[in-house]
Amino acid sequence: MTDTPGARGTARSAPAHPHPPTAGQPTVLTGATVVLPTETVHNGQLVIDGTRIGHTAPENAHFIDVTGHYVVPGFVDLHNHGGGGASFTSGSVDDVLKGIHSHREHGTTTLLASTVTGDMDFLTRRAGLLSELAEQGEIAGIHFEGPFISPCRKGAHAEELLRDPHPADVRELLDAARGQAKMLTLATELPGGLDSVRLLAERGVIAAIGHTDATYEQTLSAIDAGATVATHLFNAMPPLGHRSPGPIAALLEDDRITVELVNDGTHLHPAALQLAFHHAGADRVAFITDAMDAAGFGDGRYWLGTLEVEVADGVARLASDGTIAGSTLTLDRAFKRAVTVDGLSVEDTVRALSATPARLLGMSDRIGSLEPGRDADLVLLDADFDLKGVMRRGEWVVGPQLG
Ligand SMILES: [Zn+2]
């Protein structure tokens, strides 16, 4: 047997264990391809001890042979409006939980619940409801998308409810979230934008540049003021131009920025995704879903905030004018697409789906990798990158479905 930590080595073969584990019994996954931050271990093992990744396999462990499967860290979604037929912006607590669980079944073990534009009263009440779920550990926090965004780049946000980012209003939302606001997307070129970025940075909240009509130079000023994320790069911002490079060039070239990408095959041409990925690198890319209610649910009519959305063939569009209105993506599909369509390595895909967003949230000591001591949040994928198991904090949410 091996006494090396975590996933290393598999000197012992897995004995057959026909019985389910007893309560508190450690679990050991054997025969796996385990993707660690610095190496990928073939025919490796991973020890799960209680809610955490363990160091060594104890004699009394429950062994599960997962030969032929990848074990990767649970996915971290920074930008997610709902799923499973439920909305994080308008649903009840039970609805929100339903949406969270729907995404967990697709490998997302950590997510920020994203709101869409509403009036200030509505959003502060919403912040109260979502902050309770954050305090209970169901979500990692709140991402406010809107109302401080540009009418020129509003996407699927209600124009009549948009407003300039006055720091007093930003502060009101943060206060209503009781310390659980983790990110706020704003158009930093609007009046009050740079002061709001500084306020967010002071309060330890990620200032995300998005739904913006900023120039290249205005974008650089926002980065200097403390913005660190590009909300769904390319979408809802001016395109890259050779005389007016706009926000995209500024966001891609600056090491202080992590760019969100929606890898669903609809939001971005594969060449645009690859351009961003190869320019920024996996440590500066976070794959997100930007999912709405229909994710993991199905086609039909939905509401995104106050706007009606028609979902057909898995593509969500505003019923009024056909504008893309979020996605129906789940991160397991984003993983498979990244490797099989975009040609990214498994290791880079893991970083963009887990390690990079975990680091942005300041949670790298707990999630985002399979190192000993981290939360036992993991996803089991077969050789075709189809999801066969999800574990969150040591408990199987899905599977494992083997053989
Ligand atoms: Zn958006």
Domain positions in the chain are 1-73+368-403, 75-360
pLDDT cut 90: percent of the chain above it: 79
Sequence letter at residue 126: R
Q: How far, in Å, from the CA of 137 to the mean position of ligand 1?
A: 25
Write down the pLDDT at residue 16. 42
Q: How far, in Å, from the CA of 133 to the mean position of ligand 1?
A: 22
Instruction: Enumerate residues 6+ apart whose C-beta is below 8 A from 181.
Output: 127, 141, 142, 143, 144, 173, 174, 203, 205
Is 1-73+368-403 assigned to CATH 3.30.590.10? no
Token pair recorded at residue 40? 């990928």
HEC string of 321-362 equals: CCCECCECCCHHHHHHHHHHCCCCCHHHHHHHHHHHHHHHCC
Q: How far, in Å, from the CA of 231 to the mean position of ligand 1?
A: 7
Residue 324: pLDDT band (50, 70, 90) is confident
Q: How far, in Å, from the CA of 15 to the mean position of ligand 1?
A: 50
Q: How far, in Å, from the CA of 78 to the mean position of ligand 1?
A: 12
Which of these ranges, 5-14, 170-179, 373-382, has the smallest mean pLDDT?
Answer: 5-14
Q: How far, in Å, from the CA of 275 to the mean position of ligand 1?
A: 20
- Residue 107 to residue 354: CA distance in whole angstroms: 11
Quick check: is 342 catalytic? no
- Residue 241 to residue 103: CA distance in whole angstroms: 36
Phi/psi of residue 180, nearest 5 degrees: -100, 0
Q: Tell me if 1-73+368-403 shares its fold with 75-360.
A: no
pLDDT > 60? residue 147: yes
Q: How far, in Å, from the CA of 378 to the mean position of ligand 1?
A: 28
Write down the pLDDT at residue 1. 33
Instruction: Enumerate residues 6+ apart whose C-beta is below 8 A from 346.
Output: 35, 40, 70, 72, 339
- Residue 287 to residue 263: CA distance in whole angstroms: 7
Residue 21: pLDDT band (50, 70, 90) is low
Comparing CA positions, the residue from 200, 229, 199, 195 lying closest to residue 212 is 229
Q: How far, in Å, from the CA of 349 to the mean position of ligand 1?
A: 22
Residue 157: pLDDT band (50, 70, 90) is confident
Q: How far, in Å, from the CA of 232 to the mean position of ligand 1?
A: 7
Higher pLDDT, 257 or 5: 257
- Residue 183 to residue 181: CA distance in whole angstroms: 6
pLDDT > 50? residue 14: no
Write down the pLDDT at residue 20. 61
As a whole number, mean pLDDT of residues 150-155 equals 89
Higher pLDDT, 18 or 311: 311
Write down the pLDDT at residue 6. 45
Write down the pLDDT at residue 120. 96
As a whole number, mean pLDDT of residues 325-337 equals 93
Q: How far, in Å, from the CA of 210 to the mean position of ligand 1?
A: 7
Residue 323: pLDDT band (50, 70, 90) is confident
Q: How far, in Å, from the CA of 77 to the mean position of ligand 1?
A: 14
Sequence letter at residue 387: L
Write down the pLDDT at residue 5. 41
Q: How far, in Å, from the CA of 327 to the mean position of ligand 1?
A: 10
Q: How far, in Å, from the CA of 373 to the mean position of ligand 1?
A: 35
Quick one: fold of 75-360? TIM Barrel (3.20.20)
Q: How far, in Å, from the CA of 382 to the mean position of ligand 1?
A: 32
As a whole number, mean pLDDT of residues 297-316 equals 86
In the set 49, 254, 264, 290, the catalytic residue is 290
Q: How far, in Å, from the CA of 325 to the mean position of ligand 1?
A: 8
Higher pLDDT, 325 or 76: 76
